[in-house]
Amino acid sequence: MEAKNETRFVEFLLLGFSEDPALQPLIFGLFLSMYLVTVIGNLLIVLAILSDPHLHTPMYFFLANLSMVDVCFSSTTVPKMLVNIQMQSRAISYAGCITQMFFLLLFSGLDIFLLTVMAYDRFVAICHPLHYAVIMSPRLCARLVLVCWAISVLNSLSHSFLALRLSFCAHLDIPHFFCELDQVVHRACSDTLLNDMVIYLTAMLLAVCPLAGILYSYSKIVSAIRAISSAQGKYKAFSTCASHLSAVSLFYGTLLGVYLSSAVTQNPHSTATASFMYTVVTPMLNPFIYSLRNKDINRALKSFFGKETRSMSGNSP
Q: Report pLDDT digits (tens) over 211-268.
A: 899 999 999 998 888 887 777 777 777 777 888 888 888 888 777 766 665 555 556 5
Query: Tell me, what DSSP letter sits at residue 174?
Result: E
pLDDT(11) > 90: no
Query: What CATH number has the domain bearing residue 193?
Result: 1.20.1070.10
Domain membership of residue 97 as a residue range: 2-308
The answer to whether position 122 is within a domain reads: yes
Give pLDDT tens digits for 82-96: 988 888 888 888 889
Residue 267 lies in a domain: yes
Contact 108, 63 (CB under 8 A): no
The answer to the question of residue 316 being in a domain is no
Q: With 70 as the cut, is the pLDDT of residue 3 above it?
A: no
Q: Report pLDDT for 247.
A: 85
For residues 91 and 4, which has the higher predicted lDDT (pLDDT)?
A: 91
For CA atoms 142, 143, 145, 149, the dihedral sign is positive
Distance CA 254, CA 275 (A): 8
Beta bridge partners of residue 92, listed in sequence order: 12
pLDDT score at 235:
78
Sheet with 11-14, edge to edge strand ranges: 91-93, 11-14, 173-174
Q: Is 190 helix (H, G, I), strand (E, B) or coil?
A: coil
pLDDT of the residue at 2: 46
Best-predicted range by mean pLDDT (11-25, 35-49, 252-266):
35-49
Residue type, 19: E
More confident of the two residues 152 and 287: 152
d(CA 70, CA 76): 10
- 289 touches 247 (CB < 8 A): yes
Instruction: Give the whole-angstrom CA distance, residue 115 versus residue 251.
Output: 9
What is the pLDDT at residue 276? Answer: 78
Per-residue pLDDT averaged across 51-73, rounded?
92
Show the beta-strand stretches assigned E in 44-200: 91-93, 173-174
Name the DSSP class of 23.
G
Task: Tell me if 314 is assigned to some domain.
Answer: no
| pLDDT for residue 139 is more than 70 | yes
Is position 317 within any domain?
A: no
CB 271 within 8 A of CB 223: no
The listed range with the strongest mean pLDDT (5-9, 133-137, 277-281, 287-291) is 133-137
162-205 residue pLDDT tens: 999 888 876 688 888 888 888 888 888 888 889 989 988 988 88
Query: Is 234 contained in some domain?
Result: yes
Question: In this predicted model, which residue has the larger pLDDT, 310 or 275?
Answer: 275
- Do residues 285 and 246 touch, judged by C-beta distance below 8 A? no
Q: Is residue 302 part of a domain?
A: yes
Return the beta strands (E) in the chain as ranges.
Answer: 11-14, 91-93, 173-174
Q: What is the mean pLDDT of residues 137-142?
A: 94
Q: What is the pLDDT of residue 69?
A: 95
Domain assignment present for 315: no
When computed from its CA atoms, the radius of gyration of the chain, rounded to whole angstroms, is 22
pTM more than 0.75: yes
Instruction: Find out whether 124 and 240 touch, Cβ atoms under 8 Å.
Output: no
Rounded CA-CA distance 277/271 in Å is 10
- Considering its fold, how many domains does the chain have in total? 1
Strands 11-14 and 173-174: parallel
Q: Band of the pLDDT at 101, cuts 50, 70, 90?
A: very high
Tell me what pLDDT residue 238 has: 78
pLDDT at 145: 96
* DSSP letter, residue 264: H
Amino acid identity for residue 237 in this structure: A
